[in-house]
Amino acid sequence: MSVGYPIDLHTHSLRSDGALGPAALVERAAERGVKIQALADHDTLAGAAEAMAAGERVGVRVIPSTELNTESEWGDVHILGYFLDPADAALEDRLRWLREHRGKRIELMVEKLNALGYPIALARVMEIAQGGSLGRPHLAQALFEAGHVPTYDSAFDTLIAKDAPAYVSRVGLSPLEAVQLVVAHGGVPSLAHPFTVIGLDLLMPLIVAAGLAGIEAYYGSHPPAMTATCLSLARRYDLVPTGGSDFHGRGDHGAPLGGVFVPPETIAALEARRGGQAAATMTTAVGGD
């Protein structure tokens, strides 16, 4: 029996900080009644092929996507990029650069944790990540396993959240650069969980001018007022309201797969924003072979 909604445009697998491999994640989504799913691993499209193949088997349309986390005076601005091409070598170069910086940052955080008296081995963190894009969730799991924190989630509060003692800030893209990167590679950028942005009203016109096409209005931990704010911003700036679970399968972060209602018209509206890529596909179709 389906317990979830049919559209989920924000999910994570083991290719970044989720707990399930791409195929297992899509299979789990299918079991819950999801029909269209964006795999949006942080700074990577490495899971896209596996997820799409699994999707063909179990009847889920997988949209290859990524989530670009930025850190700046605007707080946590995370940009979801939809309809990206996993075979785009120039995009992969940029994503690899971001992943390398993720790795260096996690190494620095491990050093800090060791100095603070919470010894964990970098090798164990890498094992937990299983080759995926490294992130703080992997550290949280290592801290929990080592008995340094009572729960996975509490690792963030006491040690690795922003302003916690073992935190190290990221080197990466600015919010504008993240939006521009997605647009430059034919994707459709949407602002993830806007409640984490500081100064949303001021930032919006800047990222809209850079090419933002969507805003994640439907999100598990959004109170109704935040959803209303997002829908009103969507109308003002002509953005597609998007939504998803942000399912990771680790701790309490995010909603269950398919756990957030996303209106069915969202997909066609997002597809209509595919700029260069959609035009190129149409030309090919019209031109024959």
Sequence-ordered list of residues with C-beta below 8 angstroms from that of 170, at least 6 positions apart, any chain = 69, 71, 101, 102, 105
For residue 87, count other CB atoms closer than 10 A to its CB.
Answer: 11
Residues 64-103 that bind ligand AMP (CB under 6 A): 69
**DSSP per position, 62-77:** EEEEEEEEEEETTEEE
| Helix or strand (DSSP H, E) at 87 | none
Residue 136 interface partner, choices Fe ion, ligand AMP, Zn ion, none, CB cut-off 5-8 Å depending on type: ligand AMP
**Least CB distance to ligand AMP at residue 78 (A):** 7
Residue 233 · residue 215 · CB < 8 Å: yes
Query: Taking the complex as a whole, how short is the minimal distance between the CB of residue 159 and Zn ion, in angstroms?
Result: 17
Q: Taking CB under 5 A as the rule, which mask of x and - marks residues 11-50 in contact with Zn ion?
A: -x----x---------------------------------
156's contact among Zn ion, Fe ion, ligand AMP, none, with CB below 5 to 8 A by partner kind, is ligand AMP
Residue 218, exposed/middle/buried by CB under 10 A (0-12, 13-18, 19+)? buried
How many Å apart are CA 44 and CA 66, to the nearest integer?
Answer: 6
Q: Which is nearer to ligand AMP, 103 or 263 (CB)?
A: 103
Residue with tokens 């990221």: 170
32 contacts which partner out of Fe ion, Zn ion, ligand AMP, none, CB within 5 to 8 A by kind? none
CA–CA distance, 257 with 251 (Å, rounded to integer): 14
Which x/- pattern over 5-44 shows residues binding ligand AMP (rule: CB under 6 A)? ------------x------------------------x--
Q: Which is nearer to ligand AMP, 85 or 153 (CB)?
A: 153
Could you say which of 185, 246, 255, 270 contacts Fe ion (CB under 5 A)? 246
Candidate list 15, 32, 35, 136; residue touching ligand AMP; CB under 6 A = 136
CA atoms within 13 A on the CB side of 5: 19
Residues 159-178 that bind ligand AMP (CB under 6 A): 161
Closest approach of Zn ion to the CB of residue 254, in Å: 8
Secondary structure element (H or E) that encloses residue 241, with its range: strand 240-244
Which letter, b or e, does each residue of 131-165 get, where b requires 16 or more Cβ atoms within 10 Å of its Cβ? ebbbbbbbbbbbbbeeebbeebeebbeebbeeeee
**Residue with smaller CB distance to ligand AMP, 96 or 235:** 96
In the complex, which residues of this chain contact ligand AMP (CB under 6 A)?
17, 42, 69, 135-137, 153, 156, 161, 248, 251, 253
In the complex, which residues of this chain contact Zn ion (CB under 5 A)?
12, 17
In the complex, which residues of this chain contact Fe ion (CB under 5 A)?
67, 78, 192, 246
